[in-house]
Amino acid sequence: MTILPTVRLGGADITRLIIGGNPFSGNSHCSPEWDNDMLDYFTTERIKATLFECERQGLTAMQSRADRHIMRMLREYRNEGGKLHWIAQIASELSDLKSNIRQIAAAGAIAAYHHGTRSDNLWHAGRIDEAQELLKVMRDCGLAVGMGSHIPEVIEYVEERGWDIDFYLCSVYNLSRQHRESQIVSGKRTEEIFDDADREKMFRVIQSVSKPCLVIKILGAGRNCRTPEQTRATFQYTFERIKPTDAVVVGMFPKYRNQIAENARIVREVCATLRPEPILT
C-alpha cells in the first residue's frame, strides 16, 4: 500500500491522516455506551492489530496519551515490528510531568505536546505562561514540541509571542468554554458542546499561524460521519480549510467496519483535488 500524502513534523515525514488514540482509552466524547463499547473492544491485541492495519492502509503516524497503559502497549507493538511514528500527549493526571516527558522520549516518540485541556485550564486561570516549563523539557529531550488547545485564543496568544514550539494541536470544536477535566483524568463525564460555529474560528487561526497544525475533532466524535457521504464531505471541508503543511488526527473504531481503510481512501481522494491555498472562512 502506498503511503498517504505527507507533511513534515520536526525531523519526520508523517501522513496527513493520523490515527488518534482516544478510542483505545474508551474516550468516545459521545456517550457512556460508546465508551464502554470501546473499552470492551480495544484489548491490547486489538489495539496492536488496529495499528498494523493503519500501516497496511498507508498511515505512518499515531497520536495518543502517554499513560502507562498506552506505553506498555506501544512497547509490545514495537517489539512485534510496529513502525508508526508516535506523537505523544503528556498524561496530565500524573504528578511528575517532567518525568513523563522523559519517558516519552525514551520510548521513541518523535513529538510531544502539551495536553489541550491542561492548556485550556491554565488559560482560564490566567497562568498559560506556565506551560512553557514543560515545553522546554520536551525541547531538551530532543522531541518536536507541540502546544495543544481547544480554544483559538490560546493558539493566537502562543503564536503572537513566538514560543519555542514546532507545531500546534488544534481542536475545531471548543470543548473548554470553562475549566474542565478530561474524562480520562477525572473519571467523570462533563457536558461537551459540539457547535459547528466553532470550526470557522479555529480554521481562521490555523490558516494564520506559521507552524504546522495537527487538527483534531474534525468528525465531531462521530457526529459528522453518520453516513459515508457525510464523512467524505467533512474530510473535504476540513482539508480545504487547513494549510498544505497541516494534518488531521482521527480516532477510529474498526469493530463494525474498517474505518481505517475508508478514511485512508477518502483522504487520498480528497488530497488529490486540493487547491494550493486553503479556502478562507
Q: pLDDT per position in the chain (281 positions), as tens?
A: 677 999 999 999 999 999 999 999 877 667 788 788 999 999 999 999 999 999 999 999 999 999 999 999 999 999 999 999 999 999 999 999 999 999 999 999 999 999 999 999 999 999 999 999 999 999 999 999 999 999 999 999 999 999 999 999 999 988 765 544 555 554 555 666 778 888 999 999 999 999 999 999 998 766 767 788 889 999 999 999 999 999 999 999 999 999 999 999 999 999 999 988 888 76
pLDDT given for residue 29 in this prediction: 62
Q: Cα(11)–Cα(230) distance, rounded to whole angstroms?
A: 34
pLDDT for 186 equals 46
CATH code that applies to domain 6-271: 3.20.20.70
Q: What are 250's three cell numbers? A: 482521527
The whole-number pLDDT of residue 180 equals: 42
- DSSP, residue by residue, the chain: -PPPPEEEETTEEEESEEEESGGGGT--SS-HHHHHHHHHH--HHHHHHHHHHHHHTT--EEEEE-SHHHHHHHHHHHHTT---EEEEE--TTSS-HHHHHHHHHHTT-SEEEE-HHHHHHHHHTT-GGGHHHHHHHHHHTT-EEEEEES-HHHHHHHHHTT-S-SEEEEESS---SS----HHHHSS-------THHHHHHHHHHHH-SS-EEEE-TTTTTTT-SSHHHHHHHHHHHHTTS-TT-EEEEE--TTSS-HHHHHHHHHHHHHTT--SSPPP-
What does the pLDDT read at residue 183?
52
Query: Tell me, what's the pLDDT at 221?
Result: 61
